[in-house]
Amino acid sequence: MKYAREVLAAMRPYPGRAFRVGCLVRMAVGRRSLSAAEAESARKGVKRVLDELIDVGLVERRGGNTKSATYSWCGFYQNHNIKSCHSGRYLGQ
């Protein structure tokens, strides 16, 4: 995935902090200005990364699928165990 490294670098150091998609897009693309089509493409790419991280339990979405939804890092990967933010259990045991 194109923006996975940037999204992980932005979210992992701040577990529990709420991020909006627009904030993550700005962090992923840097300071360069984007055309409307490029900005939409970047937003979709970041959203794909977030959806995958939600599926594996590392990121939690708050606010549903609305524009005001926030995403927070709630898991960690250590010694091949993934802590789920929803259940508090270790997956992969």
- pLDDT over 70 at 86, yes or no: no
Domain ranges of the chain: 4-91
Task: Provide the angle, in degrees to the nearest 10, between the axes of the packed helices 36-56 and 4-11.
Answer: 70
* C-alpha closest to that of 29 among 44, 51, 17, 12: 44
Q: How many CB atoms lie within 10 A of CB 6?
A: 19
pLDDT at 77: 52
- pLDDT, greater one: 41 or 91: 41
pLDDT tens for 51-83 read 999 999 999 999 877 778 999 998 755 444 444
Q: What is the pTM of this model?
A: 0.77
Q: What percent of the chain has pLDDT over 90?
A: 63
What architecture does CATH give domain 4-91?
Answer: Orthogonal Bundle (1.10)
Q: Is 12 helix (H, G, I), strand (E, B) or coil?
A: coil
Q: Is 90 helix (H, G, I), strand (E, B) or coil?
A: strand
